[in-house]
Each structure stands twice: as structure tokens, then as C-alpha cells.
């Protein structure tokens, strides 16, 4: 039989190698050794470490290990470049981004080959996915640069952005970060991952050729200490990090109290849900892309397979057959499906996790073929016989390992999918569009793909829920994280009123009218059994409130979590309840005004003005409840991406000490309008206005547990809430020290935070606070990708 006939019989792929010579020639032209790119110039190499090819272990080049002094030099260059760069028109900045996009396209083959050599991913992926998306991001954000003033009015760039990117998509993550930062008018200091710095250095040459002004983009290579120097540098205004959840928590704690902007795109353990009516063959091909794309080194990898029980056996048999055909080998071979993992340390980490999985009873399947020698290769692996608490089910493996479990009903599928500390992505396979669109909103993840997987585009935001981080990359949401309101830069320190120093009184005298707390729709006595006096401006006791503690917060959080259905109620319904609440408050405005005057000494006219402002604020956010919604994006494929604006979850709110009623209402109203149940700590010095409010709440059809009120010391209750894993977001208005503590303590479960940092926020300002400012902080965006047409 001749050769051609043999090929038709076996249908085996022959080798289709891509030549490494152009990339090797580029490395040789640089002497195989690199310094940093700072202020538009190349520094001399300093202390270096090797960047190796993970497919064969050979050294590609030596890269400088950046020091704190190198970072400082880069930050100073970025700071010096910022005034002129941010002063350019959006049109002028857009032209630079457009030039970069064109140059990336022109040199796309070199980028793709260098990326595969340095990272180990198959050339088909770097050539056909990564590099085209890099160009797409610069093209897309070139347009954003020109339209920012119209679409995001009143917003200004942060200044100097420190950006730290991972090794799994080295150039694509660079584009995700640099493109929006530059479009917004920021300057950048970027550190690539130590394993994969080479395409970032090639990109620096692109920056030179595009004639970007010196200092606008600075590339500093290095290891962990270099990244820490960027995070901790006092003249960096914003940090953008993509990487592990563990490091993300460290960065959250390190930046606490600094006032730096922060966006985190972290780990994942994404569910891949297959219903029994799915096209199983298509679902198998999608699964190959979901878990074995880039050797499974993908934060949104579909690493948790959930199969409906009735098709589990058939699906697993098909999957094993498909795994046997996957080709593992040289990343530069265009016929290879799975390349090399990034480094030996990553291989060992995965092997250690797999040993733990075996010890816990996991059953492994691997295809029966040999791996190439001399590189960081692993076989695609399927693990069955696991439970939801199994290590391989709960921990991010970041390798070519898939764990499989079954479910019986859609409700069980949702429970299993959401049974994770992560919430980055999910995939749903079903031929029933009603089922798909019922399940997608119930999944707690920032991206949901229907009958598809691993779709990305510059027009569509990407980012996570829960411990997968916060902030978005791509789309309008991704632009917003590189901008801040212009007025924030003019904020002044706020001097909080001091509590009157008194002591020794057993009660307020006369009839005891101690206000209770309000938890789960009921008035509740404090767990401690103690109360605290509330003093008027003359030092007289005007009332008492419960002295709340940790257990009271715990009870309130449990009640709030039981009321999470508030977020799935129709926006119209939430709107009507807020209107009703405002109406009932207005009926009792004179009573509330007298209470404010008793606590603060303000004139009755001034107190009445605060009550009126509070009623108006409730009306404003009742109006927003059914109007602050999402969009339908149009990526350049036959799919739509539906951006759904969703509540974050249970929110802890500590109101400012001033403005006893409006201070609480101004924070409470946007949180409620967007569907978040709340645990509220009112003004420590003047809480009676809010304890009076629960009488209004009880008559306004507010469901039990949606609003919970715990009185007591603001700082200690704020600490308890910031540390509580049952609270998903935290707002604190108060002094700088407690603000920093709240931000640091929130790192435990990476809850989203807003703090006033000891600055004066005039919450009576309708122009600033009756719209997007708090609405954006009370929501998160989920993008659901839905295919259409042929």
C-alpha cells in the first residue's frame, strides 16, 4: 500500500512543524539578554534569571530580575509622562493604540512563535486565538479613547497604573491591561510573569516603533519581589493584577488604606454542565476546549464536569474515546493539541494534587500513549468517583485534569455549580433554550457560555464573582475600572463628631424606651443584654440603643442570607416597595425631624431638610431600580453576549457618624434598589433616627431580612462584618484607620469594599450620589454568551 493510501486508512496526522528560527534570530539580535524598558529606553541587564523553553528545557534568554530601584525608576518615568499623555485628546491617544494594533498584526507570526516557545502552548492557539485577540483589544480600545468623554462623563484617569500579569496568556493579558489603561489616559508600569517575559519585551519594541511618548509604557521584568515593589510603591495610583487567589488576597491586604484603585482577576473552578438533551458530541468537543486548551492552565477552565445522570455513562465513554485521540507534543507542531506546561514546578504541583486525589478515593483515567521526553508534559486526565468536598473538586488544579460528577435535576446542577468559593465562569450545554436561559442567571459566575466555551472579546467584560476577584476586563465595565470621578481628587478630611463623654447612668430616666435592633423582620434585644446611651448636644441622655456584638452581626447576616430572594424579585417590585417606604417616611417627617434635632442640636428647619432629602433619595433609587440594567454586546462572531447587571449579595453597611438619617439612607437605598439584602450599622453617636426607621420598614412591605439594623460601636462591628464570610460586599463611612482595617479584613473572602478613608463625602449632593456612583458599587455584571444562526 502506498503512503497516501496508508494515511487515508489511519487518518493519522503527520508532523507540521513551525520553524523557531525567526524567534531565535530575534533573541540572538538582542544578545540573548534583556534589561528593562523604562522611559522609552532599554536599561542594561542587571542580575538575571533564565527564561526556558518548557518543551525541551533549553534556555531561550536571560531576563533581568528587577529591583525596588528599577521599579522606582519606572514609576518616576510613568509619573513624569502622565500629565502630557492624559492631556492628549482621546483621538490622539486612539491613534497610538491603532498603530500598536497594526504593528502587532504585522509581526503576529513572530509573536505567536515566541509565545509558544516561551510558554509551551500549541502554536495553533497562540497563532489563531491569542495574537488576534491582542490586536483586537488595541483596535477596540482605540475607539474607546475617543468616546470616553461622551460615554463616561466626569471621569478621569487614575494616574500611574501598576500591572502584574500571569504566565498562562502572557501577551493577551498584557493587552487586556495596557489597552484600556492607555485609552483612559493612564501611564503604565507592567511586570510580566517571570516564566514568560519574552513577548512583553518584544511588545516594548512595538511601543518604540509606534513612537509612543517615553514613560507612557514601562516594562519591568522580575520575580515576586518585583511585583511586590510595584504593589507597595507609594506613587502608584492603581493596581491591576491577574493571577492566583492567594496572591490576590495578599495584594488586597497590602493596598488597604492606601487609596489605590484595585482590580483583581483571580482563580476559578468553573462548572461545565451537560444536560441530557444536549448534543453530546458537540459538548465533548466543547469540553476539550474548556479543559485542555492551553494545557488546562486557564483560570476559567471548565475543570468541574457536571453531567446529568441519565447520560453520564454514555458521555464518559465518548469522552474517554476522544481523550485517546488528543495529541501531546512539541508546541510548535501545528498538529499538536496539548503542549507543555509552563515549568517543572507547575508539573510537580499538579502531580502532588493528584496524589492527594488518589488518597481521597479519586479514580483516574489517562490515555494509553507515551509522552515526549525532556519537557514539561502531562497527559490529559479524567477523575471520577469524587464528591463535592474532594480536594480536586474544590481546589484549582491549573492543569490538564478534569473532575466529573453527576446530577439528577436542574436544581441540583445549580447547587453543585455554585458550591465553590470561586465564581469566574460556567458552561451550559442543552438544546432547550428555556432551560439554558433559566439556569444561566442562577449560576454565580461572571461569564456563562451557552453551548460554547472559552469565548472572549474586547467588547465583552470578563471577570469573576466571590474569590475569583472583582473588576472587569473588556467592554465598558473594563474601561470604567481605569477611571475615577474627577471630584474624588478634591475630597477633604472629615472631622467626625466626638461622642459625649458620660458614664455611670443605668438608664435614661423615666420610662425605659430602649430601642431594640431589627433582625429578620423582627425587633431583637442585643445578645449582650447591655444598652448604650445616646446623648444630645447638651450632654443629656435622649435615648438608649442595644450594644451590638459579634453574635448580633451573625444573626443579622443569617437573616440577610435567607432574604437573598430579594435580588431575584422583579425590579418593578423592588421599586414599588422603595416608593412605599419613602411615602411612609414622609408621613412621619415631623417626628423624624424632631428626633434629629434631639440628637444633633440642629434647628428644626435643618432637621426637616435632612428628612426631606432622605425621602427624595429613596424616591430616586426607587426610580433607578428598574432602569439600571445591562446591554447586549455584539462580538465579531455569530453570538450575542448579554450583560446582566446583578446584585452582589449580602452587603454590610456602616453609616457615617454625621447626618443620622440621610447618612444611612443614602447608602441603604442604592443597595436595596439593586437587590442586595443589607446589614446596617447606623451612626454610632446618633442611631435613634434609624431605629425609628424600622417602624416605617415594618409598614412598607419590605420582606423580612432585607434590612437588618444592628446598633453599637462602629469600628468593632465593622471589623466583624469585614471578616464575615457571609457578607459579600462592605461599605464603611468613617475614619481612615477603620477604613484601612475594613479593606484589609475583607481580604478573607475578597469581598468588594467602598470606604470613605476619613474623607468628607457630602452625601446630600444629589448630582454625585443619586446615580451611578453607588449603583455601580452595588452590582456586578455577568455576561452570558448565546450562539445564534448557522
Active-site annotation holds for 299: yes
The residue to which cell 428647619 is assigned: 605
Adjacent-strand bridge partners of 311? none
- Cα 228 versus chain centre, distance: 20
3-state secondary structure labels for all residues of 699-730: CCCCCCCCEEECCCCHHHHHHHHHHCCCCCEE
Alpha-carbon distance 363 to 352, whole Å? 15
As given in the structure block, the three cell numbers for residue 211 are 513612537
**Catalytic member of 265, 646, 684, 743:** 265
Strand (E) positions, 411-468?
425-429, 447-450
- Cell 464518559 locates to 316
Q: Which one, of 141, 185, 137, lies nearest residue 161 by Cα? A: 185
Helices (H), 126-258: 131-151, 170-184, 198-209, 224-232, 245-255
Contact, 137 vs 458, CB < 8 A? yes
Contact 254, 231 (CB under 8 A): yes
Q: How many residues does the chain have?
A: 790
Cβ contact 39:218 at 8 Å: yes
- Give the CA distances from residue 276 to residues 271, 419, 696, 788, in Å, rounded to whole numbers and listed in that order: 16, 21, 50, 21
Element spanning 470, H or E: strand 469-470
Say which of 299, 300, 312, 743 is annotated catalytic: 299
Give 164's strand partners: 191, 241
616 is annotated as an active-site residue: no
- C-alpha 412/C-alpha 388 separation (Å) is 12
Q: Give the number of other Cβ atoms within 10 Å of residue 226's Cβ.
A: 23
Q: Grid coordinates representing 373?
A: 521526553
| Active site residues per annotation | 265, 299
Amino acid at each position: 500500500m502506498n503512503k497516501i493510501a496508508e494515511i487515508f486508512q489511519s487518518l493519522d496526522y503527520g508532523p507540521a512543524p513551525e520553524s523557531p528560527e525567526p524567534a531565535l534570530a530575534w533573541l540572538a539580535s538582542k544578545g540573548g539578554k534583556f534589561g528593562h524598558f523604562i522611559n522609552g529606553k532599554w536599561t542594561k541587564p542587571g542580575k538575571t534569571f533564565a527564561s526556558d523553553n518548557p518543551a525541551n528545557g533549553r534556555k531561550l534568554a536571560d531576563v533581568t530580575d528587577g529591583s525596588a530601584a528599577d521599579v522606582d525608576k519606572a514609576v518616576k518615568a510613568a509619573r513624569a509622562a502622565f500629565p502630557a499623555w492624559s492631556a492628549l485628546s482621546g483621538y490622539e491617544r486612539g491613534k497610538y493604540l491603532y498603530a500598536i494594533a497594526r504593528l502587532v498584526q504585522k509581526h503576529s507570526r513572530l509573536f505567536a512563535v515566541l509565545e509558544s516557545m516561551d510558554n509551551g502552548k500549541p502554536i495553533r492557539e497562540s497563532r489563531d486565538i491569542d495574537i488576534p485577540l491582542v490586536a483586537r483589544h488595541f483596535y477596540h480600545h482605540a475607539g474607546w479613547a475617543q468616546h470616553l468623554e461622551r460615554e463616561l462623563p466626569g471621569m478621569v484617569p487614575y494616574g500611574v497604573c501598576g500591572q502584574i500579569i500571569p504566565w498562562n496568556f502572557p501577551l493577551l493579558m498584557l493587552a487586556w491591561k495596557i489597552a484600556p489603561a492607555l485609552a483612559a489616559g493612564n501611564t503604565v508600569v507592567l511586570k510580566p510573569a517571570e516564566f514568560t517575559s519574552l513577548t512583553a519585551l518584544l511588545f516594548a519594541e512595538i511601543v518604540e516603533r509606534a513612537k509612543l511618548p517615553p514613560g507612557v509604557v514601562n516594562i519591568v521584568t522580575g520575580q515576586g519581589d518585583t511585583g511586590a515593589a510595584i504593589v507597595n510603591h507609594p506613587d502608584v495610583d492603581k493596581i491591576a493584577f491577574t493571577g492566583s487567589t492567594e496572591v490576590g488576597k495578599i495584594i488586597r491586604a497590602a493596598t488597604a488604606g492606601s487609596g489605590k484603585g484595585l482590580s483583581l482577576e483571580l482563580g476559578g473552578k468553573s462548572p461545565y454542565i451537560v444536560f441530557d438533551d444536549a448534543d453530546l458530541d458537540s459538548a465533548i468537543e466543547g469540553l476539550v476546549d474548556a479543559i485542555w486548551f492551553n494545557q488546562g492552565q486557564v483560570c476559567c477552565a471548565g475543570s468541574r464536569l457536571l453531567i446529568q445522570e441519565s447520560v453520564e455513562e454514555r458521555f464518559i465513554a465518548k469522552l474517554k474515546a476522544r481523550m485517546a485521540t488528543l495529541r501531546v507534543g512539541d508546541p510548535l507542531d501545528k498538529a499538536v493539541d496539548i503542549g507543555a506546561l509552563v515549568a517543572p514546578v507547575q508539573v510537580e504541583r499538579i502531580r502532588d494534587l493528584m496524589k492527594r486525589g488518589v488518597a481521597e478515593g479519586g479514580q483516574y483515567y489517562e490515555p494509553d500513549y507515551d509522552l515526549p521526553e525532556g519537557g514539561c508534559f502531562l497527559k490529559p486526565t479524567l477523575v471520577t468517583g469524587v464528591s463535592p468536598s474532594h480536594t480536586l473538586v474544590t481546589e484549582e488544579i491549573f492543569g490538564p485534569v478534569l473532575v466529573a460528577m453527576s446530577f439528577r435535576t436542574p436544581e441540583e446542577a445549580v447547587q453543585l455549580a455554585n458550591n465553590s468559593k470561586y465564581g469566574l465562569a460556567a458552561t451550559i450545554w442543552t438544546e432547550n433554550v428555556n432551560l439554558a436561559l433559566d439556569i444561566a442567571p442562577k449560576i454565580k459566575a461572571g461569564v456563562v457560555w451557552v453551548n460554547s466555551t472559552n469565548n472572549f472579546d474586547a467588547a465583552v467584560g470578563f471577570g469573576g464573582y466571590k474569590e475569583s476577584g472583582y473588576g472587569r476586563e473588556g467592554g465598558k465595565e473594563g474601561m470604567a475600572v481605569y477611571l475615577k470621578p474627577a471630584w474624588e481628587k478634591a475630597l477633604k478630611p472629615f472631622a467626625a463628631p466626638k461622642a459625649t463623654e458620660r458614664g455611670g447612668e443605668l438608664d435614661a430616666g423615666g420610662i425605659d424606651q430602649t430601642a431594640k435592633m431589627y433582625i429578620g423582620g423582627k425587633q431583637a434585644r442585643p445578645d449582650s443584654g447591655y444598652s448604650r446611651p445616646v446623648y444630645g448636644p447638651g450632654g443629656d441622655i435622649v435615648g438608649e440603643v442595644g450594644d451590638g456584638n459579634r453574635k448580633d452581626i451573625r444573626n443579622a447576616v443569617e437573616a440577610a442570607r435567607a432574604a437573598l430572594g430579594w435580588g431575584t424579585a422583579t425590579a418593578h417590585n423592588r421599586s414599588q416597595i422603595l416608593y412605599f417606604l419613602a411615602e411612609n417616611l414622609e408621613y412621619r417627617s415631623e417626628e423624624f425631624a424632631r428626633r434629629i434635632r434631639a440628637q444633633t442640636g440642629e434647628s428644626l428647619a435643618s432637621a426637616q431638610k435632612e428628612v426631606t432629602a432622605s425621602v427624595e433619595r429613596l424616591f430616586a433609587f426607587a426610580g433607578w431600580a428598574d432602569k439600571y440594567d445591562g446591554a447586549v454586546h455584539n462580538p465579531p462572531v455569530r453570538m450575542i453576549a448579554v450583560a446582566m447587571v446583578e446584585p452582589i449579595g449580602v452587603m454590610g453597611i456602616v453609616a457615617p457618624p454625621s447626618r443620622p438619617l440621610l447618612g444611612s439612607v443614602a447608602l441603604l437605598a442604592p443597595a436595596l434598589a439593586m437587590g442586595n439584602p443589607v446589614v446596617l450599622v447606623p451612626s454610632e453617636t446618633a442611631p435613634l433616627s434609624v431605629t425609628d426607621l424600622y417602624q416605617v420598614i415594618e409598614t412598607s412591605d419590605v420582606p423580612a431580612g432585607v434590612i437588618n439594623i444592628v446598633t453599637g460601636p462602629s469600628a468593632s462591628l465593622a471589623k466583624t462584618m469585614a471578616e464575615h464570610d457571609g457578607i459579600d460586599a462592605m461599605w464603611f463611612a468613617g475614619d481612615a484607620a477603620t477604613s484601612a482595617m475594613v479593606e484589609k479584613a475583607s481580604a478573607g473572602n475578597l469581598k468588594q469594599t467602598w470606604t470613605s478613608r476619613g474623607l468628607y463625602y457630602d452625601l446630600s449632593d444629589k448630582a454625585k450620589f443619586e446615580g451611578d456612583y453607588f449603583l455601580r458599587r452595588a452590582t456586578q455584571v455577568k455576561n452570558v454568551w448565546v450562539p445564534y444562526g448557522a
